Amino acid sequence: MGQPMMSTCRGMTLFIALIALITMTLAVIALIRSVDTANTIAGNMAFRQAAREAADTGVEAAYSAIPNILSTSEEANIPNEYFATIQPVDANGVPTTITWSTVPATNQSGYEVQYVIERLCNGPLPVTDIQTQCLSDPNGPNGSNKAGAIVFSSSNRIYYRVTVRVTGPRNTLSMTQAILSF
């Protein structure tokens, strides 16, 4: 009689061991998926940060382009590059009149950087009264903010809005805006 009871115990032990093995397998699968998800999230955040950094190069490029635009076509639009007046915007503040597929792009470490400049003036063109039609600083530049520095006087400085669009790996898309004055 002792032997049948032992085989029953061995059968129960095998059954419990199989349940424990299945439970541990499910726990390992859940852990692997959790780690994989965390890695994906961290990777996406890195791509997003890199896109934001690439947007800085777009703002710098726009800053460098504005003096040339002011000397050649301040009162004329350059399609999908420069607008002499304020453009309508969507709920996110991005101009709706831009066709991004036609905006010139530069490649910055695997990211496509595009920018559009808007002069913050109300139409119609040509703008004849800067003080009433444009967002401007009537006092002009005040020189350095350093104590005791020279104070310069100048005419009005007009504000320009730069919208930068950056696209990159994994469908990364970043929109950045900056306000510049000249």
**pLDDT of res. 25:** 92
User: What is the domain range of residue 24?
Assistant: 2-181
Nearest to 162 by CA among 117, 120, 127: 117
Confidence of residue 150 (pLDDT cuts 50, 70, 90): low
pLDDT in the model for residue 177: 95
pLDDT(154) > 70: no
pLDDT > 70? residue 143: no
Residue 159 CB coordination number (10 Å): 17
pLDDT of residue 140: 52
Angle CA 54–57–63, to nearest 5: 150
Higher pLDDT, 103 or 131: 103
Number of domains in the chain: 1
Q: What would the pLDDT profile of 105-122 be if each residue is shown by its tens digit? A: 999 888 999 999 999 999
Going by pLDDT thresholds of 50, 70 and 90, the confidence category of residue 176 is very high
40-51 per-position pLDDT tens digit = 888 778 888 888
- pLDDT-derived band at 179 (thresholds 50, 70, 90) equals very high
Residue 175 contacts residue 59 (beta carbons within 8 Å): no
pLDDT of residue 148: 59
More confident residue, 151 or 94: 94
Residue at token pair 């777009």: 58
